[in-house]
Amino acid sequence: MRRERNERARRAAGIALAVALTATAAGCGSAAQTPVSETWDDLFGTVVTVSLYDKMSEKEAGAVLAAIRARGEVIQNTMTAHSPGSEIGAVRAAGGQTPVPVSEDTYGLLTLALEVAALSGGAFDPTVEPLVALWGIGTETAAVPAEADIARARALVDYRRVTLDGAGRTAYLPETGMGLDLGGIAKGYAADEANRLLDEADVAHAILDFGGNVVLRGGHPEGKPWRVGIRKPVLGEDGYACVVSLRDGAVVTSGGYERYFVAADGAVYHHIMDPATGRPAETGLLSATIVCDNSTRADALSTACFVLGLDGALALLDALDGVEGVLIASDRTIHTTPGLADVFAVADERYVWVNAP
Ligand code: ADP
Ligand code: MG
């Protein structure tokens, strides 16, 4: 099944890897049939929308939606750093003391997270939790920390120090104060899992949007690809900078505009940390979008690319097969990887596609 999907997406990649950012699959034709759609605003601290475009009974659709929602809740509860009953939280609490047995879900996702951490040289790092907690961005206590506190937290961030033991399926952090944060990858995983449930339910056409982690399925029932808008990442600008058209695949964006606070002096601090500096990543990129067949990987890679900045992101993407990207810099220039050339379009003339074919 997975192989089949990979093949499909790979074929699509040449022609049409599609990206939707935050919900709107723009303009799919006026005669378009209305999807059965549900939106939840209480999962992963974001808005989740599932839209099913197959002809199906209300009962069938209801069952599929309920299964997706239930799966999402399980993923959220086991993998959110600070939710009660969180396995990630339990691993943190036992840091410096003892390995903690975790579910297959958590173990698998940690394994993937560490892989992307290694690939990106630690730009994506699931042990970023002490920095996330210190800055508190997105919470009411967000504030610019003292340098000494930043240095202390930064010293606790290092994915190479995580020990995963497959035999006992345990995770271990060797030092008290170390922690795990899967916020940069868990939504992508939830979207992949939702897509797997759609496989099982034989749903052919659907759009899943887990807070900007979009999974496209089967193209529009009328035969057209889905069109996914990538949001303008400049603070204060609404709407889409560009669009990707694609039938199947994941389109995931990380941007500094999603969650941030403005300090007394007007400086903006967003929620994506650069583990190398201990501060919000400032590389000149305003957003990084990944297009590939796996939303989990795309989620982690989009965060990694945002932290790496334009040159680092292009180098990383160049080294990966079947992974494409759209990088938007603060001067409103857009850089795409070669595989997107035929499926990409600019949607606002103020944005300049610098490597347009
Ligand atoms: P969003 O959650 O807004 O879609 P991302 O996927 O980029 O955006 O994830 C950002 C979240 O990931 C942060 O809120 C934080 O929990 C976590 N995080 C922040 N910096 C990093 C990093 N360098 N590596 C891994 N996770 C990070
Ligand atoms: Mg991410």
Sequence-separated (6 or more) residues with CB below 8 Å from residue 207: 20, 25, 35, 49, 50, 51, 53, 214, 215, 216, 217, 226
* pLDDT confidence tier of residue 262, bands split at 50, 70 and 90: confident
- Whether 5 has a pLDDT exceeding 90, the answer reads no
Which pair of tokens denotes residue 188? 């992508």
Question: Residue 27 has what pLDDT?
Answer: 39
Ligand 1: residue of 82, 124, 181 to mutate (most ligand atoms within 8 A of CB) is 181
Q: What share of the chain is helix, strand, coil (3-state, %, to 5)?
A: 35, 25, 40
Contact between 179 and 173 under an 8 Å Cβ cutoff? The reply is yes
- Whether 306 has a pLDDT exceeding 80, the answer reads yes
128 lines ligand 1 (CB under 6 A): yes
Question: Residue 349 has what pLDDT?
Answer: 95
Question: Residue 278 has what pLDDT?
Answer: 98
Question: Residue 8 has what pLDDT?
Answer: 33
Q: DSSP assignment of 147-216, as one string?
A: HHHHHHHHHT--GGG-EEETTTTEEE-SSTT-----TTTHHHHHHHHHHHHHHHTT--SEEEEETTEEEE
Question: Residue 17 has what pLDDT?
Answer: 29
Contact between 217 and 205 under an 8 Å Cβ cutoff? The reply is yes
273 lines ligand 1 (CB under 6 A): yes
183 lines ligand 1 (CB under 6 A): yes
Contact between 153 and 131 under an 8 Å Cβ cutoff? The reply is yes
Question: Residue 84 has what pLDDT?
Answer: 78
Percent of the chain with pLDDT over 90: 81
pLDDT digits (tens, 9 = 90+) for 192-212: 999 999 999 999 999 999 999
Stretch 298-322: mean pLDDT: 98
- Whether 257 has a pLDDT exceeding 90, the answer reads no
The CA 59 to ligand 2 mean position distance, Å, reads: 34
**Which ligand lies nearest to the CA atom of residue 213 in the structure?**
1
pLDDT digits (tens, 9 = 90+) for 142-186: 889 999 999 999 999 999 999 999 999 999 999 999 999 999 999
Question: Residue 141 has what pLDDT?
Answer: 85
The CA 223 to ligand 2 mean position distance, Å, reads: 30
* pLDDT confidence tier of residue 229, bands split at 50, 70 and 90: very high
Mean pLDDT lowest among 22-36, 283-297, 339-353:
22-36
Contact between 355 and 344 under an 8 Å Cβ cutoff? The reply is no
250 lines ligand 1 (CB under 6 A): no
248 lines ligand 1 (CB under 6 A): no
299 lines ligand 1 (CB under 6 A): yes
Question: Residue 32 has what pLDDT?
Answer: 53
Ligand 1: residue of 189, 303, 308, 316 to mutate (most ligand atoms within 8 A of CB) is 303
Left if phi > 0, otherwise alpha if psi is -120 to 50, otherwise beta: which for 239?
left
Gyration radius (Cα) of the chain, Å? 20
Indicate the Cα dihedral angle 188, 317, 225, 331, nearest 10°: 100
212 lines ligand 1 (CB under 6 A): yes
170 or 268, higher pLDDT: 170
* pLDDT confidence tier of residue 23, bands split at 50, 70 and 90: very low
Ligand 1: residue of 159, 272, 307 to mutate (most ligand atoms within 8 A of CB) is 272
- Whether 264 has a pLDDT exceeding 90, the answer reads no
- Whether 4 has a pLDDT exceeding 60, the answer reads no
pLDDT digits (tens, 9 = 90+) for 77-103: 998 877 778 999 999 999 999 999 999
The mean pLDDT of the chain is 90
Sequence-separated (6 or more) residues with CB below 8 Å from residue 319: none
Distance CA 87, CA 297 (A): 21
DSSP state of 144: P
Which pair of tokens denotes residue 76? 């959220």
Question: Residue 66 has what pLDDT?
Answer: 98
The CA 55 to ligand 2 mean position distance, Å, reads: 33
HSE-up of residue 321 (Cα within 13 Å, Cβ side): 4
pTM: 0.91
Q: Whose CA is nearest to atom 19 of ligand 1?
A: 272
**Helix H or strand E encompassing 39:** strand 36-43
pLDDT digits (tens, 9 = 90+) for 104-117: 999 999 999 999 99
Q: Whose CA is nearest to atom 4 of ligand 1?
A: 254
